[in-house]
Structure 1
Amino acid sequence: MPRIWSLLTNALLMSACAAPAAAHDFWIQPERYRSDAAAATALTLQVGHGRDRQRSAISARRIQRFEAVGGDGRRLDLRAQLHPDPHAPADARIAVPAGAWMLVLETDAGAQSRLPAPRFNDYLRAEGLIPALEQRRAQGRENADGAERYSRRSKALLRAGPAPAGVAALLAQPLGLPLEILLDADPQARAARLPMRVLWQGRPLPGALVKLTRLEDDAQPLDARRTDAAGRAEFAAPGAGTWLLNAIWTRPLPAGAEVDFETTFTSLSFDIVEAAPR
């Protein structure tokens, strides 16, 4: 890796770790990413990393979509099975038929965050939201407190039964999220690189900062990459473990709105095992 890119990557990782609490990542955490067909799997909704990692206390009324989308096109509405409760053993227990499945969760944008100017600016820098930072400068608001409303959009890849087909196609298929991470290869294939894309409103998103975190050791991201003009980026293929990809994007709201920006958090979690199941 060229020295200049190594320095840039290290700077991104350091700034990502310095993000304020409001920027904590959110994801679906299955107890098992692989199971026998129709076997029940517990899952929780997680937020934060390292010492700040905890069960999400999100209200069930904010969850607008929770479903499993199959590699064969089937859709299972799972909202009735989801009961977020940090004090319960799990937030849901689900069972899916044999095949590749993507769990998909969407919330409304009913949550708000307000931060003093220095912390808000640091947050924008840490999460790669440079257009928002530039807009604040252009409007002479860099020293004003910042406010946003935000939503969560998360996916988790499940494999039910032995060696399900269609995993790669499912990972590359947009599922209608306003901000969405797609993988262009099955991580289990263990190729040298892991190519991915980010879509915003269904179109390639350039300039998004994507972080890759190993959930067994999640105090800080393992790596961070910015998407290119085609919304693409790639990571060195990660090894065995459970992994999280996440990104954030924001859009300015009209003058007179209650807050300045509407921000979307998105994530994709998956696992890689030492050897592909036979």
Structure 2
Amino acid sequence: MQYRLFCSILCSGLTLAAGPGLSHEFWIEPEKYQEVLGNTVVARLRNGQGFKGAEQPYLDHRIARFEVRQGAAAAPYQGRMGDMPAFTAELAQDGLAVLIHQTRPQTLTYDTWEAFQAFIDHKGFGDIRKQHQARGLPEAGFGEQYTRYAKSLVAVGNGSGSDTATGLETEIVALANPYTDDLSQGLPVRVLYQGKPRPNAQVEIFAKAPDGSVTISTRLTDAEGETAVPVMQGHQYLLDAVVLRPAPEGKDYVWESLWAALTFAVPAE
């Protein structure tokens, strides 16, 4: 009974904290982005702003997909209800590991247009208000459904290998390996939506320095859905790109947002 009560309170709090109306990001944060082969890889799920956020537990009813990819091999990850950290596993293979986490959709309600407009402005969606009005929608008391698609790159052993498209509805794919490749021209990435490059998409870049300070910048993708992310040695990075689209007819919400996130680190040497 106490466990059920704890989960009820916890899940309710997560719903409030995870609302993207305040532009909260959701990401996977490894304890170590480079791990010795044979050691346990530990990663946390976090939700927050400015690359700082609250740790989220493993909640199976909130998870649509959770897996690890190394090369061509993919394995689903199964944790225990309430686990914090949410991911703990030994990876027995050398190479780049891609951790993948997709949430189940959740919904929220905007009580004012101003709250939705702040989200629109932050993510660079342009004049959504005209679209909203053209659909005859109210400017208060309307709903949005949101889904998170997070990836993280972890170097196991030699860290060799490459990131690839994983079939998420939207995702950010690293076109170079941050642990083994030359990043003097930045880390090239491609933003995908429904398997196709997403041109003119805003990529928000959160760069965390060794002292914990975070700088935030944005870049737009080109016609091929690509951009180069400037990086510095010894820094951790969170990249974020969001799709906003009208909801299908007949839903009790009117907009859908799809949040792609990618985390990685650049070695100090």
- Specify the alignment match of 2:170 in structure 1: 179
1:139–1:219 CA distance, 2 compared to 1 (3 A): farther
- Specify the alignment match of 1:81 in structure 2: 79
- Specify the alignment match of 2:191 in structure 1: 198
What's the TM-score once normalised by structure 2's chain length? 0.82
- What is the alpha-carbon distance in structure 2 between the residues aligned to residue 197 and residue 229 of structure 1? 11
Q: Give 3-state SS (helix, strand or coil) of 1:119's partner.
A: helix
Q: Give 3-state SS (helix, strand or coil) of 1:155's partner.
A: strand
Q: Which structure is higher in helix share?
A: 1
Deviations 1:242-277 (A, max 9, x none): 1111111122113431001121111110111122xx
Aligned with 2:206 (options 185, 189, 213): 213
1:68–1:21 CA distance, 2 compared to 1 (3 A): same
Deviations 1:97-116 (A, max 9, x none): 2221101111121x112112
How many residue pairs get matched?
246
- What is the alpha-carbon distance in structure 1 between the residues aligned to residue 56 and residue 264 of structure 2? 19
- What is the alpha-carbon distance in structure 2 between the residues aligned to residue 151 and residue 105 of structure 1? 11
- What is the alpha-carbon distance in structure 1 between the residues aligned to residue 22 and residue 170 of structure 2? 18
Can you give the 5+ residue segments of structure 2 that lack an aligned partner in the other structure? 1-18
- What is the alpha-carbon distance in structure 2 between the residues aligned to residue 156 and residue 185 of structure 1? 14
- Specify the alignment match of 1:4 in structure 2: none
Q: Give 3-state SS (helix, strand or coil) of 1:175's partner.
A: coil
- Specify the alignment match of 1:241 in structure 2: 235
Percentage identity across aligned positions?
A: 27
- What is the alpha-carbon distance in structure 2 between the residues aligned to residue 218 and residue 47 of structure 1? 17
- Specify the alignment match of 1:120 in structure 2: 116
- What is the alpha-carbon distance in structure 1 between the residues aligned to residue 115 and residue 58 of structure 2? 23
- Specify the alignment match of 2:125 in structure 1: 129
Aligned with 2:86 (options 78, 81, 91): 91
- What is the alpha-carbon distance in structure 2 between the residues aligned to residue 256 and residue 58 of structure 1? 32
Structure 1 residue identity aligned to 2:218: A
Q: Which structure is higher in strand share?
A: 2
- What is the alpha-carbon distance in structure 2 between the residues aligned to residue 143 and residue 63 of structure 1? 31
Contact 1:211–1:246 at 8 Å: present in 2 too?
Answer: yes
> Per-residue deviation at 1:191?
1.8
Aligned with 2:267 (options 264, 267, 273): 273
Q: For 1:12-91, list aligned pairs within 5 A.
A: 22-50=22-50, 53-56=53-56, 59-71=59-71, 73-78=72-77, 80-81=78-79, 83-85=81-83, 88=84, 90-91=85-86
Q: For 1:6-17, list aligned pairs within 5 A.
A: none
